[in-house]
Amino acid sequence: MHRATEQVLVNLALYDGVADHLQADQGIWIGVDGMIRAVGPVDDVLAEAGDVPVVDLGGDVVMPGLTNMHVHLSLGLPGHLADEVHRSNLAELVLLMADSARRTLHAGVTTARLVGEGRYADFALRKGIEAGAVDGPRIFTAGHALCCTGGHGWEADALEADGADGFRQLTRAQIRAGADLIKVCISGGIAGQYEAIDTPQLLDDEMAAVIRVAHDWGRKVTAHAGPADTVRRAVELGLDCVEHGYELTDEVTRLMAERGVWYVPTIVVSRCEQFFRDSGVPGWLMERALGAGPRHWESLQHAIRNGVPIALGSDMPPHAGYDETTATVRELEFMVDAGMPVADALKAATIRPAEWLNADDKLGSITAGKHADLLVLRDDPTRSVSALRTLHVVMKGGVVYRDDHGRTRARR
């Protein structure tokens, strides 16, 4: 089991997730409990900390750990990924997910929102990570995704129901298992062979049943959704978040902004041809995904322009290689390319997801009283999110899980 060490980080520039600029000559005091005890001008922090070991970061930049809001640790796209998942027994599945969790953490993602896993393995993994038996990000999970009979995701362990009563029962079953949120598939998508992206799949009373039960139990609902009209119906019924939104319109994104409905665009999934080839997906899936790219891009631009609250999510494995970086970093770069200011993109990967998760009192920024989930970069992320390509240290809860150059061992 890893344990935090009390220490003060010095000789660093700070992006704290609150201010939009770097703060020079800062210090961060981390307690033995892995919580941040003080942040501020280095001399003030050192004076407050007293006789505590000091770690010199050589002038590098420290920022909050990333949160990826659309993760499947047991990703089962048609092809060899699905084959590997489906032929695994439960123990093997948990081990596969644990390996993906470790890689995700090493990629700088210290918090992950899981939006559809299989066989309730995510709850066992979450327990193992919280106990320190497994290396991985902090997990917020929906358990199984919910869909109609034959609906999106049924081949990938989504649970099927029909009618309002059926969806009420499945929603309660996920909450009983320990779900932090509920994920429901309300339209077709890119990975279902016998559907189209714009196929509506839930009736209004079915969507309303999921949302009502979840909200009664204090859980938010996020929806896999493609077409604008289906999204509009769900938003009017009280939906909290939209995943993908392949075909959003100006009108619908205005409604989302007005109602405070969040958007996780996963823009990488409609432009990741090499990942699909490496994963051995069938030709129809690749053609549909890449063909959705232009409208998906327009959807993201509508959302940015109309002020929809946006959070980072990759759908691809967070650690997956993409253009000489990871899917997580590439997603952020795409969001900026689509018109999002760098300052907003950084917040979409740090403090804003924490707000959606109702965890911003402990996560999302480098502030006294929060978990010491920190990244160390060589370059300045407030100038370009591509600075995340220079990531070389990952810390979660005051414990170093990655240190490419041994920087955190250099104490004076």
Mean pLDDT of the chain: 96
Q: How confident is the model over 128-184, as pLDDT tens digits? A: 999 999 999 999 999 999 999 999 999 989 999 999 999 999 999 999 999 999 999
The count of domains in the chain is 2
Size of the chain in residues: 412
CATH of the domain at 202: 3.20.20.140
Residues 289 and 381 in one domain: no
Query: For the residues of 65-110, what is the DSSP string, one character each?
Result: PEEEEEE-TT---TTHHHHHHHT--HHHHHHHHHHHHHHHHHTTEE
Which pair of structure tokens corresponds to residue 105? 């953490």
CA 89 to chain centre: 26
Q: What is the mean pLDDT of residues 342-349?
A: 98
Q: Are 336 and 388 in contact (CB under 8 A)?
A: no
Q: Are 103 and 60 in contact (CB under 8 A)?
A: no
Q: Taking the CB of residue 352, how many other CB atoms lie within 10 A of it?
A: 22
- Confidence at residue 86, expressed as pLDDT on a 0 to 100 scale: 82
Residues 380 and 247 in one domain: no
Q: Is the pLDDT of residue 35 over 90?
A: yes
Which pair of structure tokens corresponds to residue 230? 């289906």
Q: Is the pLDDT of residue 410 over 60?
A: no
Question: Confidence class of residue 82 from pLDDT cuts 50, 70 and 90?
Answer: confident
Closest C-alpha among 177, 103, 159, 170 to residue 134: 103
- Confidence at residue 84, expressed as pLDDT on a 0 to 100 scale: 84
Q: What is the mean pLDDT of residues 6-17?
A: 97
Residues 238 and 386 in one domain: no
CATH of the domain at 40: 2.30.40.10
- Confidence at residue 2, expressed as pLDDT on a 0 to 100 scale: 81
Q: How confident is the model over 362-403, as pLDDT tens digits? A: 999 999 999 999 999 999 999 999 999 999 999 999 999 999
Q: Is residue 2 part of a domain?
A: no
Residues 102 and 114 in one domain: yes
Residues 55 and 164 in one domain: no
Q: What is the mean pLDDT of residues 221-250?
A: 98
Residues 302 and 341 in one domain: yes
Q: What is the mean pLDDT of residues 340-349?
A: 98
Q: Is the pLDDT of residue 13 over 70?
A: yes
Residues 140 and 265 in one domain: yes
- Confidence at residue 1, expressed as pLDDT on a 0 to 100 scale: 65
Q: Is residue 229 part of a domain?
A: yes
Residues 199 and 213 in one domain: yes
Q: Are 282 and 79 in contact (CB under 8 A)?
A: yes
Residues 392 and 304 in one domain: no
Q: What is the mean pLDDT of residues 106-126?
A: 98
Q: How confident is the model over 288-335, as pLDDT tens digits? A: 999 999 999 999 999 999 999 999 999 999 999 999 999 999 999 999
Residues 30 and 101 in one domain: no
Residues 247 and 199 in one domain: yes
Q: Angle CA(411)–CA(403)–CA(368) in degrees, nearest 5? A: 70
Which pair of structure tokens corresponds to residue 126? 């979450």
- Confidence at residue 409, expressed as pLDDT on a 0 to 100 scale: 79
Q: Is residue 109 part of a domain?
A: yes
Q: Is the pLDDT of residue 411 over 70?
A: no
User: Is the pTM here over 0.75, yes or no?
Assistant: yes
Q: Is residue 200 part of a domain?
A: yes
Residue 88's domain comprises: 66-356
Percent of the chain clearing pLDDT 90 (strictly above): 91
Q: Is residue 1 part of a domain?
A: no
Domain boundary among 330, 356, 382: 356
Q: Is residue 335 part of a domain?
A: yes
Domain boundary among 338, 356, 374: 356
Q: Is the pLDDT of residue 279 over 90?
A: no
Residues 322 and 293 in one domain: yes
Which pair of structure tokens corresponds to residue 95? 């081990």
Q: Is the pLDDT of residue 30 over 80?
A: yes
DSSP run (H or E) holding 337: helix 327-337
- Confidence at residue 83, expressed as pLDDT on a 0 to 100 scale: 79
Q: Is residue 377 part of a domain?
A: yes
